[in-house]
Amino acid sequence: MTSTKPLKSLKQKITLAFYIIVGMALFNGVVAILLSQQLKSEIEHLVGVDVVKVTTALQLAKNSEKLQIITARLNHYDNEQQRLRLLSELSAQWELLINDSRLLALIETATVSKQELNHALDIQLYYLQQLPLLAELTDSALQANLQATNIQANLTSMASGFTDEMQTQFHSINADSERQLKLKNFDKIAMNINTNQQLSQFSHLGEHLFTRLSQVKIIDNLVELNRTQREAMRLLLNMEAILEGVSGDTSLYFNLLSQIKQTMVGEDNLFELSRKAIKSTHIANAHLEYQADAAQIVATYTQNLVNQVENEIQQTGGELKSDSTAFIILIFCSGILYCFFIWLTSWHFITKGIIKPVMATRDAMNAIANEKLDTHMPVTDNLELQQMVNSLETLKSYAAQVKGMAETDGLTGCYNRRYLDIQLQKELEYARDHNMPLGIILFDIDNFKQFNDRYGHVAGDQCLKNIVNAAKSILKRPTDMLARYGGEEFMIVLPSSHLEEVYQFAELLREKIISLEIPHEDSPHAGILTISAGITCWQLPQQLDANSLINRADEALYHAKLTGRNRTEALLGQPIRYS
């Protein structure tokens, strides 16, 4: 049987299966590479960008904290030198912040965040640029204070000299008064008393003036400073007025007052310098407040930035985790799918397409080798296997022919002696195994030599065929078998038949041959052809082989011949004559 499907070459099938498996492997490989590339870029982003981002943001937050500390210290400074040092630290801190902000703005990819970072950077740059002005103001205050300190040092020295001078003056007046008292120069004494009083007032005002002037260095607001300046001026004028009324040489005091006045009203006087220092400090303080506010804003911003970056990292980490899980699942599924496709391809192309047809072909070959010639030929769409099946079909028909030739008699078409021997042995074994009887009939044409001699061998051959056809026509069971035993002798094997049944069949056959009415002029039986039959039957517990059984049938046939032919004789241990 041939397949209706178009035949395909085995080589093509195996090549196709190979390409499918390799294609699937490549597809799997490409999918795995693409997925791993995606994961790789996510990990790189996490490690290369996000980690740098969070590190920089944390650094930024740390620096902004330091910035706050410095601005706080700037507001509570001890002196301008310290403030200048702190301003330098502040400048360095702003620069660190700006560097961090620049780095963050550089690695930031989101447009909005980048804009925010650039804006923050602009603010930081603005406050950094304010610092030279602050330093300048602080330096200005420092210089003014230094000059004011010098003036005050001078004033302190003057105050000390003034006090000493006044003491000396009072001692001198008192000594003079004592002398005048001895001289009873009361006018001079009265004048001394008056001078003493005026100088006391002068001294008192002087002390007060020096005190007020010494307080200038601790004044930190302009109102107080102006008020002190006015008071000092009033004291100075009062002192001048008192000195105007003092008799004697007052040039020393006027000179002193001139020096004091110089510190109060001249160029870069004490009050002007203090005013300058206070103003610079006030402006610097105002700017410092902005710096402090900016530091506060930057600290808040950086803290938010840290939170934002941490959130981003958590988000990226979460995405990476879910992507990794998806990657593993995808690889697993594609692996399963790949295995399934390999199995499907192997099953379809190799198992179903090659192995099964090959095994079916092998089974068919085995069956044919075992003479089972009714076996079906396998159906395949393989070109090469179909060619094998076609050859096997030819072999099968040859085998059938050979088997037929090996089993059948060429002249009559019934089984031959070879086949009979094999089958009889099998039937005997079957009967023994199943405790069944087995009957055989050995029959022979009577006086066939004379028939040949009279009618010729061709007629004899035809006669043999007719006899066989007649015998076949009365064989009803498929297990019954007719075989040519040799020459004009035939045997019928009747399984599961007792002697009585065998006899009846032999008689039926004999009568059937008679009924053919084949003319045989040399026959003593009404001139027609007859047969003689010897029968026997085997049954347990008899111990008998096939040859012994045949010999018994042959002996019975011999008896039939001896006793006149055209008859049936049985031998079951002893010959039994039925008729």
List the catalytic residues.
Answer: 488
Amino acid occupying residue 73:
R
One residue of 200, 201, 308, 452 binding ligand GTP per CB under 6 A: 452
Q: Judged by CB under 6 A, does residue 460 bind ligand GTP?
A: yes
Distance CA 7, CA 3 (A): 8
* Cβ proximity to ligand GTP, 50 vs 488, nearer residue: 488
Please identify which residue in the block is written with the tokens 């005048």: 180
Point out which span in 35-43, 214-222, 386-394, 446-454 binds ligand GTP (CB under 6 A): 446-454
Angle at 165 between CA 164 and CA 171, to 5 degrees: 90
Other beta carbons within 10 angstroms of residue 370's beta carbon come to 9
Which residue, 414, 441, 438, is CA-closest to 504? 441
Please, what is the minimum distance in Å from the beta carbon of residue 366 to ligand GTP? 37
Total residues contacting ligand GTP by CB under 6 A comes to 16
One residue of 449, 500, 547, 562 binding ligand GTP per CB under 6 A: 449
Cβ-closest residue to ligand GTP?
A: 460
* Cβ proximity to ligand GTP, 48 vs 487, nearer residue: 487
Helix, strand, or coil (residue 154) = helix
Point out which span in 51-59, 92-100, 166-174, 441-449 binds ligand GTP (CB under 6 A): 441-449
Which residue, 209, 214, 218, 220, is CA-closest to 275? 220
For residue 298, how many C-alpha atoms fall within 13 Å in the half-sphere facing its CB? 38
Please, what is the minimum distance in Å from the beta carbon of residue 538 to ligand GTP? 25
Q: Judged by CB under 6 A, does residue 524 bind ligand GTP?
A: no
* Cβ proximity to ligand GTP, 44 vs 461, nearer residue: 461
Q: Looking at residue 537, what DSSP letter applies?
A: E
* Cβ proximity to ligand GTP, 254 vs 558, nearer residue: 558
Query: Are the CB atoms for 275 and 222 separated by under 8 Å?
Result: yes
* Cβ proximity to ligand GTP, 127 vs 419, nearer residue: 419
Q: CB neighbours of 240 closer than 8 A, spacing ≥ 6?
A: 254, 257
Please, what is the minimum distance in Å from the beta carbon of residue 414 to ligand GTP? 13
* Cβ proximity to ligand GTP, 243 vs 445, nearer residue: 445
Q: CB neighbours of 411 closer than 8 A, spacing ≥ 6?
A: 461, 464, 465, 484
Please, what is the minimum distance in Å from the beta carbon of residue 451 to ligand GTP? 8
* Cβ proximity to ligand GTP, 100 vs 489, nearer residue: 489
Distance CA 543, CA 326 (A): 82
Query: Are the CB atoms for 298 and 124 separated by under 8 Å?
Result: yes
* Cβ proximity to ligand GTP, 122 vs 461, nearer residue: 461
Please, what is the minimum distance in Å from the beta carbon of residue 494 to ligand GTP? 23
Which residue, 573, 544, 570, is CA-closest to 443? 570
Q: Judged by CB under 6 A, does residue 447 bind ligand GTP?
A: yes
Q: Roughly how many angstroms between the first and final C-alpha of the chain, as a whole number?
A: 56
Please, what is the minimum distance in Å from the beta carbon of residue 402 to ligand GTP? 22
Q: Judged by CB under 6 A, does residue 461 bind ligand GTP?
A: yes
Query: Are the CB atoms for 417 and 484 separated by under 8 Å?
Result: yes
Helix, strand, or coil (residue 3) = coil
Amino acid occupying residue 135:
A
Please, what is the minimum distance in Å from the beta carbon of residue 562 to ligand GTP? 9
Q: Judged by CB under 6 A, does residue 561 bind ligand GTP?
A: yes
Q: Between residue 380 and residue 439, which ones bind ligand GTP under the rule CB under 6 A?
A: 411
Amino acid occupying residue 367:
A
Q: Between residue 70 and residue 89, which ones bind ligand GTP under the rule CB under 6 A?
A: none
One residue of 409, 444, 554, 569 binding ligand GTP per CB under 6 A: 444
Point out which span in 102-110, 187-195, 444-452, 491-499 binds ligand GTP (CB under 6 A): 444-452
Q: Between residue 470 and residue 489, which ones bind ligand GTP under the rule CB under 6 A?
A: 487-488
One residue of 94, 271, 448, 485 binding ligand GTP per CB under 6 A: 448
* Cβ proximity to ligand GTP, 334 vs 532, nearer residue: 532
Other beta carbons within 10 angstroms of residue 43's beta carbon come to 14
Please, what is the minimum distance in Å from the beta carbon of residue 458 to ligand GTP? 7
Query: Are the CB atoms for 309 and 57 separated by under 8 Å?
Result: yes
Other beta carbons within 10 angstroms of residue 166's beta carbon come to 18
Q: Judged by CB under 6 A, does residue 11 bind ligand GTP?
A: no
Please, what is the minimum distance in Å from the beta carbon of residue 506 to ligand GTP? 16
Other beta carbons within 10 angstroms of residue 252's beta carbon come to 12
Distance CA 509, CA 280 (A): 155
**H or E segment and range at residue 572:** strand 568-572
Q: Judged by CB under 6 A, does residue 163 bind ligand GTP?
A: no
- Give the footprint of ligand GTP on this chain (CB under 6 A): 411, 444-449, 452, 457, 460-461, 464, 487-488, 561, 565
